[in-house]
Chains A and B, each alone.
Chain A
Amino acid sequence: MKKEGTIIKITGPVVLAENMRGSRIYELVMVGKEQLIGEIIELERDTATIQVYEETSGVTPGEPVTRTGMPLSVELGPGLLGQIYDGIQRPLTKIMDLVGDYIERGIQVPALDRERRWEFTPEVSVGDVVGQGDILGVVPETKTLIHRVLVPPGLSGKVREIAAKGTYTVEETIAKLDAEEGAVVGIQMLQRWPVREARPYGKKLEPNVPLITGQRVIDTFFPIAKGGTAAVPGPFGSGKTVVQQQLAKWVNAEIIVYVGCGERGNEMADVLREFPALEDPTTGEPLMNRTVLIANTSNMPVAAREASVYTGITIAEYYRDMGYDVALMADSTSRWAEAMREISGRLEEMPGEEGYPAYLASRLADFYERSGRIITTGREERMGSVSVIGAVSPPGGDFSEPVTQNTLRIVKVFWALDADLANKRHFPAINWLESYSLYTDAVSDWWHEQAGDDWGEMRGEMMTLLQKESELQEIVQLVGADVLPEHDKLVLLAAEILKESFLIQNAFHAVDTYCRPVKQYGIMKILLTFYGLASDAIAKGVPVEKIMAMPVRVKLARIAVIPDAEYEGRFEEIKKNMEDEFRSLVPA
């Protein structure tokens, strides 16, 4: 069988080659004399359509296409953490060492360091029978993360040889199995997995543990669960990227995979500058040590952008299989969808809505379905999860467009970003009336246990208040606020305070950037106490103006920036001030 075809046509990232009989769809190929990386996306008789992951200028018909016989895969093993890769998992640090500041074409660098030696400790003995997902041994990948080397999916047998405790490179064989039918299979720490295929797991679980983000409006009002899916759509400038980065910094997952898909180069530079300097709130280690970055910026080849989200989720699944909680941020899934549209256009496929291919919905669904909280394969059952948070960039901020709509049909949490709020510098600009979370009930038990029994009740009360305020605002727009009855005026005031002290959160403030769940609960409680006391005062004839002028309001406005160490005492003090002030307003 001939392993080489010939190029007959080039238009941008799409190349047609003939004499490709025997090749498979999604097979990885090397295109042209420069051996550019490409993937077969369509086959007709012996002609293959190839999407090329690098710039194709200068490629000429007649040049060869070499087949690899393998689908597009990622390399998995110790050494992924702290790395920054492009969309097809080429390490950008190594590329810089090799060719300098610009990414040239035809560079092939292995994703995992072949030289580095890792401390391996075996956990099985010769003669043990092992199956897929069983732990062969462990490697301390960072100070706090134990990398578990597993039997690859689809493999089982009796351990024939196992490496002794010591240091090994990722390519050295650390175990040999007597597999079925007398075959002997060697296993290395370096394993490969095709990116477009979900990795197997044991069983999916109900996502009922919240993924704590430290962002008040998210954790309290629109929580996401471990293994859940969320979408953040918003027009440009509404703060999608800041929300994504805040989550990447503060969520209580063990591993973060951050996919910069078709976005700005300077944003990735920002992450690379900040993450090594920030501390992981749970382990105290630099955040970069728990992070894998996939950076395929908007000016990098469009086909690699299409692949980048798959590269990211495959890495996420790999750590999930070890029994870890992984959170994946994809910024932005719209750019991924546009990459699909661009390729589809070049293939002259029949376009669906707004030029997107008809398979847009199914691709989105396939991607988000790779999330979940699961029991892994393997004898010793581990629990792991992949939570997926996708940013969506709707054209003109119009949520009725296909990517937003198809995403909303799949995800369970919707954080709608609002340009009006962003213009007022109300950040995070998550619109509290439009957003929703379908995990609220599932995670309420956790909150009741960790914070207080009245969490659900108070949350409901705050939501009702905000809802009421928006109704009143409509009336105010027509007739002004002064005609409202006193109690309605109080609703407006209370909602205002709620926005100032709770919903607005300053990502760039040293304290406010992360708010612990108990503190969120504490603030909520104080605000509702205020509202309760104020309602009583109004009922006793105190006018709203007097309440508005209360000195304690200034303290409430700054309540969120009280440092964690002193908040309990200070909250108590504010509460006391508040009660005293109300007592002096209301004549006994």
Chain B
Amino acid sequence: MISKNREYATVTKVSGPLIVVEGVSGVAYGEVTEITMPSGEKRRGQVLEARSNLAVVQVFGGTKDLDTDVTSIRFTGETLKISLSEEILGRILDGAANPIDGGNPVIPERVLDIHGYSINPYAREFPQDFIETGISTIDGMNTLVRGQKLPIFSGAGLPHNRLAAQITKQAKVLGKEEEFAVVFAAMGITHEEANFFIKDFRDTGALERSVIFLNLADDPVIERFITPRLALTTAEFLAFEKEMHVLVILTDMTNYCEALREIAAAREEVPGRRGYPGYMYTDLASIYERAGRIKDKKGSITQMPILTMPDDDITHPIPDLTGYITEGQVVLSRDLHRKGIYPPIDVLPCLSRLMQGGIGKGRTREDHPDVNDQLYSAYAEGRKLQSLVAVVGEEGLSDTDKKYLEFADRFESIFVNQGTGTRRSIEETLAIAWDLLSMLPESELKRIDTEFIRKYRPHLKEGSIE
């Protein structure tokens, strides 16, 4: 890369978040630029297209007040980097990693490229350490493991922030006292939402082991493009150089994707589905895939991105592409929320792809996989009957059907509904599950090994239906 600084005052076009500079030479693709505005204020940018004598640059601070006369641009010869040291823990930074907590800039121990390189798939360690979040629907039925990426699919007005904060507070690895370091990246969320997290982190003492990046709703949209990458580079530094277990929360990925669409539109690219660029899958993958574990390294990165599904539509490109990359999803339901159930997790569309490796004998409990299968099939059956009853009434139902109906109700009101203050251990979660399953006749427990039924089913327990 060319290292000498070159400055030009030949901006010929300003359009949306992009500027075109002519008469340049030796500009590298991806190079960082510093733009000096007519007022003397400086902004950063990055080269999106490099030609022999022309460069297209996206401006992270937005193009407001730029002109094609006095504005000058300096090409730094560098790619985008972030300065890091362990001291970054406890800091609050803006979406471009400038401190906004009144403290001094971080004294760099390492300066890292924010785009990172891809982890060699051969170097990955398969994630298998069960994280107990204390939430029954997650621990019992969509188990999270260290190094997984598990997003929360939510909708406007649903309590996803509260859930994320609760998980941050409660998450621990069984039998180990190590706490998670938290990297929190806000993209386009409101001051109020950001304050909720910061206050919660402060109250629970998590703040001093957190790094917070804030690009809020009124901050430049284009900056959102780099915020998650800054956060993940920080997480990688903490995990793989400082041996920490890092939990990364990215919120709200929907705003990130909107920013992506805005840049694509400004560049007049051929749009893909619903106007989002055709490379959105690849772009999202370059964020989500930066989670995991590496062989012979102690640390790990667990990601919990949050996104609000436009119109609660899970087939919208943003949740859709996310679900294809992440290792499952936790889906919040408006119906359950209306019924006053917290957390309103609808388990049926939920999934944890790495669950099988993290549960069972020697990890959680031997009966866990079977109990999980049985809960799913029984609740699905109950829900099917609920919709049937809505049409034809309860008269035609058999006794077993009625038990399934009641099972579904109690599953929601007891198993799913646990409140913000409750932390349930995996043993407690499984005990509640067995209590609920004992409502059904033993012959219906077809997904559970008979040996486990003998061992764990609370026979003739008080309050059970039989």
Contacts and interface: CB of A to CB of B under 8 A. Distances in A.
B272 interface: yes
A61 B26 contact: yes
B349 A9 contact: no
B124 A269 contact: yes
A338 B281 contact: yes
B292 interface: yes
A260 B292 CA distance: 17
A268 interface: yes
A423 B292 CA distance: 26
B50 interface: yes
B126 interface: yes
A545 B400 CA distance: 11
Contacts of A10: 29, 49-51
Contacts of B273: 354-355, 395
Nearest to B117: A102
A453 interface: no
Contact of A102 (B25, B119, B329): B119
- Chain A contact residues (Cβ within 8 angstroms of B): what range? 35 or more
Given A61-B51, A103-B118, A266 B292 contact: yes
A140 B146 CA distance: 41
A341 interface: yes
Interface stretch (A147-155, A298-306, A567-575): A298-306
B282 A297 contact: no
B427 interface: no
B29 A57 contact: yes
B313 to A, nearest CB: 9
A96 B446 contact: no
A92 interface: yes
A269 B121 contact: yes
A345 B282 contact: no
Interface in B315-361: 315-317, 320-321, 323-325, 327-329, 348-349, 351, 353-354, 356-357
Nearest to A95: B120
A273 B126 CA distance: 7
A354 B277 CA distance: 11
Contacts of A338: 278, 281-282
A417 B116 CA distance: 35
Interface string A205-239: 00000000000000000000000000000011100
- Majority secondary structure of chain A interface residues (helix, strand, loop or mixed): mixed
Contacts of A354: 272-273
B290 A299 contact: yes
A104 B118 CA distance: 8
A335 B281 contact: yes
Interface string A335-361: 100110110010010010011000000
B116 A102 contact: yes
Given A12-B29, A339-B282, 11 more contacts: A57-B79, A58-B30, A61-B50, A61-B52, A265-B289, A266-B126, A269-B126, A345-B270, A351-B270, A355-B270, A508-B369
Interface of A: 8-12, 55-62, 84, 92-93, 95-96, 100-105, 235-237, 241, 260, 262, 264-270, 272-273, 295, 297-300, 302, 335, 338-339, 341-342, 345, 348, 351, 354-355, 393, 395-398, 419, 422-426, 476-483, 500, 506, 508, 545, 549, 551, 553-554, 557-558
22 contacts: A8-B52, A10-B49, A11-B49, A55-B117, A56-B29, A57-B28, A57-B29, A61-B50, A93-B122, A102-B118, A265-B289, A265-B292, A269-B125, A273-B126, A298-B281, A302-B279, A345-B279, A355-B273, A419-B349, A478-B391, A478-B392, A557-B446
In the A-B complex, list the 7 residue pairs whose CB atoms are closest, starting with the nearest: A396-B315, A57-B30, A298-B285, A480-B396, A482-B396, A102-B117, A299-B289
Interface of B: 1-2, 25-31, 48-52, 79, 115-127, 147-148, 240, 269-273, 278-279, 281-282, 285-286, 289-290, 292, 294-295, 297, 315-317, 320-321, 323-325, 327-329, 348-349, 351, 353-354, 356-357, 369, 373, 376-377, 380-381, 388, 391-393, 395-398, 443, 446-447, 450
